[in-house]
Structures are given as C-alpha cells and as structure tokens.
Chain A
Amino acid sequence: MSTLVMTDVVRVHGEGETAVHALRGISLTVAPGELVAVMGPSGSGKSTLLHLAGGLDSPTSGSVVVDGVDLAGLNKKALAAVRRRHVGYVFQDFNLIPALTAVENVSLPLELDGMSVRRAKAAALACLESVAVADIATRFPDDMSGGQQQRVAIARSLVGERRLILADEPTGALDSGTGEQVMALLRERVDAGASAVIVTHEARHAAWADAVVFIRDGVLVDQAGPATTPAVLLGRLA
C-alpha cells in the first residue's frame, strides 16, 4: 500500500478576484522505500504541497490519503491522531524543544500518544541508535551541532510506527558536507522501509531521491527518475 496518495489536489486561498491558486491539480504517489524530492521556485506551491500531505492544511478539492486513511473524512481529533502516528516532520531549523534532551525530544510524541514514559524512552533510544546519535541521548539541543540536531529531528519524525517523513528544506541550515550526511541518512531510513517527501532547492540534495518532481505555479510539470547508468560506470554499482 502506498504511504501517500494525493489525487487532483487543488488548493485555493481566498476567493473571487483575489483568489490565489496555490495548487492547481496535483497528483503524487509515494510508496514505502521511496524518496521523492520536490523542486521549484519560491511561491510555486512546494510548501503547500507538504502541508496538505501532512494534514496541516486541507485541499479545496481532491484527496489526500495517508497510510490508507483519507484525511478528508476525519474530524479534528482523528486528524491530529494521524499526524501523530503516521507522519513525521523535519524542518530546516530542526524545531527541537530546547528544554528537553535528545531522547526526551524523540520520546515526547509517543508520551503524548499515551505510551508509558519507560516504553517511550526505550523506543526513542532505539530510534536515536538507528540514526547513529545514541551517544548524545542526554544532551540538550544547544549542546549539539546542527547535523546532530537534524539527526535527532529525523529520529523524532520516525519514532513509533510512523513511515512518512515530510521534510521542508532539511539541509537548509547545514553546511554542504553535513547536508550530504543528512541526505544519506534519510536515504538509509527510506531504504529501510520509510517513505519521504522532501522539499529542497539544492539539486545535489534532491539527487538522492528516487524521483524528483518539478513544480511550477502549482502544477507538477515534470519528473526525473533514475536513467540508465552510463555503461562505463556500471561495474561500480554492486
């Protein structure tokens, strides 16, 4: 089952003469093990797309289905539950809570969802381990590097049963080397079964994706998937 299915999604802000068509009929499907990058100029609708995919905003028409659940049919409470249990966000500025340690930041969504503190901590630790920052579990965000904070944020986005990562410029605040490592980590988590949609303006980071979709004025205009590897390099891909 696809993790995310968006069908003919339209989002219009305002109405009449001043209506702004943020999205004009976008369809996008993301399967488990798939990393999709969205590229486009500012104002093209990238962030709106991400907000709709995560249920932070509702489409004017069209449907958004996350893990088989159509978000349109949900009341506020049910929608909040889907957001907590199925979707994880990663932001450019990490958005960790400064007063909480790494492990507390990661376990918080589980605790909010009613899990016992002990079990939530254990799950959070395992998750930090999977993104290779278990050693800084008791550190506060201020005592971490940007790259470490983003790793913790990725752990938070995946903790529990969540399989859909929505990332808005996840490498935007990082130097290029650290940004690459964060992309490598996202790639690894996706290869392990998650799904991810990332918005980025960095071509070299978008290139980690299985598919790169280009958005212009609220419409997907094109997409690039992997092409045939040049024959001379084939031997390099084991």
Chain B
Amino acid sequence: MSIRHGLLALLTENPKYGYQLRAEFEERTGGTWPLNVGQVYTTLARLERDGLVLPKETDAEGRHRYALTDEGSAEVTTWFAIPVPRDSAPRDELAIKLALALATPDVDVSALVQTQRVETMRTLQNYTRLKAHANDAEVAWLLALDALLFQIEAELRWLDHCETTLLRQPDHPAAPVGHTNTGTHDVVELPIGSTGVSR
C-alpha cells in the first residue's frame, strides 16, 4: 500500500485539509503507520500533478481543502478491487540471516533461532498486552493489531519449523542439542544458556 492510496480513500467521504488527512490516517490505522505532515503535503502535491485531486477553498491560514477528481475516484475503486500484490519477494532480514548463518562456519544456528524466538515472543507479548487493553469498539485498531499478531505468530512457527528441520540433519554442526531418541542418553551438552534460569 502507498500513502497515496490511503489519502485518496480518505477523500472519498468528503474534501479534507492536509492536517485532517494526517490525523484521520493515523486514527483509522490505529497508529500503526505514523505519518508526518510533510509526507502528506508532498503526496497531495503529486496527486494534484497527476490529476487525481483538486485544491478547493482555502482557509484563513491559506491552506487548501482537497477533493477527489473523477480520475481520483476511479483510482480508489480500482485500488479496493485489486488484491495487494505478493509477487515481489520481501527482503526478510531474518530469513537471510539464517541462510547465511548456515553457510558460515562456527555460527551456532540453534542459539540464533532461540535468541530470535525470545525477541519475537516479547513482541508478541507486547501486542497482546495492547490488545487486552483495546476497546472492543475500535474495530480498525483491533484488526490492525491482529494483523501484527498473526505476522509475529507466523514468524514463531517458522522458527519452530527451522529448529525441527535442523534437528533432522544429524551431520549439521547446528544439529542438536540434547535430542536423543535412543533413551540411553547421558547428560547432554546444551547449546545455549546455562542450566536453569532463575527468576
């Protein structure tokens, strides 16, 4: 999504000032995407250049209220009608880091996975806390939070998947770590942390 489409969508209702657009954009997306007012005016200038919005009446401080043109309306309709493209591969730093860790000697990949798991779980705890405090009537905010929660949860599942996949590769240096299926294991070296975490 672009800010451009976001602003056009907000103008569908009625003409608005730039500062109004900024406030509404943040409110409707639950503050998950903060904008500065400069971004809003730059975007409006481009939209005007492309014939998608028109400046209307001016207030006492010389600020314009912007309205959609017919082309602008059509753009919004199209935007809502087509799916968000998923074909461009996102640059996922974590996936790249893991791939490189596997290719680099002397990197403890299990430790890397676990360290990330703790960090990702923290984030999940934070968003869960926010959700617990949210007002049921704030539907847009709740759904925005859910989007984040689902993404973070997916990352945790992927981390679990990485771990089990690595465990199935007995020759790999990253391989584990206390998992013996023979039932005759002695004390096994732990890859990370010490014995027991006191709280």
**With a CB–CB cut-off of 8 A, which chain A residues contact B30?**
236
- Complex Cα distance A227/B128, Å? 12
Whether the Cβ atoms of B118 and A207 lie closer than 8 Å is no
**With a CB–CB cut-off of 8 A, which chain A residues contact B23?**
none
> Hey, what's the 0/1 contact readout for A174-202 against B, CB within 8 Å counting as 1?
00000000001001000000000000000
Interface size on B, residues (CB 8 A): 45
- Complex Cα distance A24/B123, Å? 29
- Complex Cα distance A206/B124, Å? 9
Q: Which residues of A approach B to under 8 Å, CB–CB?
A: 8, 17-18, 20-21, 24-29, 41, 184, 187, 203-204, 206-209, 211-214, 216-217, 219-227, 229-230, 232-233, 235-238
**With a CB–CB cut-off of 8 A, which chain B residues contact A206?**
121, 124
**With a CB–CB cut-off of 8 A, which chain A residues contact B43?**
none
> Hey, what's the 0/1 contact readout for B13-32 against A, CB within 8 Å counting as 1?
00000000000000000111
Whether the Cβ atoms of B114 and A221 lie closer than 8 Å is yes
> Hey, what's the 0/1 contact readout for B105-135 against A, CB within 8 Å counting as 1?
0000000001101110111111111101110
Q: Which B residue's beta carbon lies closest to that of A191?
A: B132
For the complex with contacts A209-B125, A216-B178, 6 further pairs of A-B residues with Cβ separation under 8 Å are: A27-B197, A28-B199, A203-B156, A203-B157, A214-B117, A216-B190
Q: List 18 A-B contacts (CB under 8 A).
A: A20-B183, A27-B197, A203-B124, A206-B121, A212-B121, A217-B190, A219-B190, A220-B196, A221-B114, A221-B192, A222-B115, A224-B118, A224-B122, A226-B122, A226-B129, A227-B123, A229-B130, A232-B34
Q: A213-B197, A236-B133 are in contact. Are A227 and B122 (CB under 8 A)?
A: yes
| Listed residue (A26, A204, A212, A225) with the most chain B CB atoms within 10 angstroms of its CB | A204
- Shortest Cβ distance from residue B35 to the other chain A in the assembled complex, whole angstroms: 11
Whether the Cβ atoms of B31 and A232 lie closer than 8 Å is yes
- Shortest Cβ distance from residue A72 to the other chain B in the assembled complex, whole angstroms: 18
**With a CB–CB cut-off of 8 A, which chain B residues contact A25?**
195-196
- Shortest Cβ distance from residue A155 to the other chain B in the assembled complex, whole angstroms: 21
- Shortest Cβ distance from residue B109 to the other chain A in the assembled complex, whole angstroms: 15
Count the A-B residue pairs with Cβ separation under 8 angstroms: how many? Answer: 121
Whether the Cβ atoms of B177 and A226 lie closer than 8 Å is no
Listed from nearest, the 3 A-B pairs whose CB atoms lie closest are A217-B178, A227-B122, A207-B128
Whether the Cβ atoms of A224 and B125 lie closer than 8 Å is yes
Which one of A17, A222, A235, A237 lies within 8 Å of B129 (CB-CB)? A237
- Complex Cα distance A222/B195, Å? 10
Q: A207-B125, A217-B178, A233-B31 are in contact. Are A223 and B199 (CB under 8 A)?
A: yes
Whether the Cβ atoms of B153 and A27 lie closer than 8 Å is no
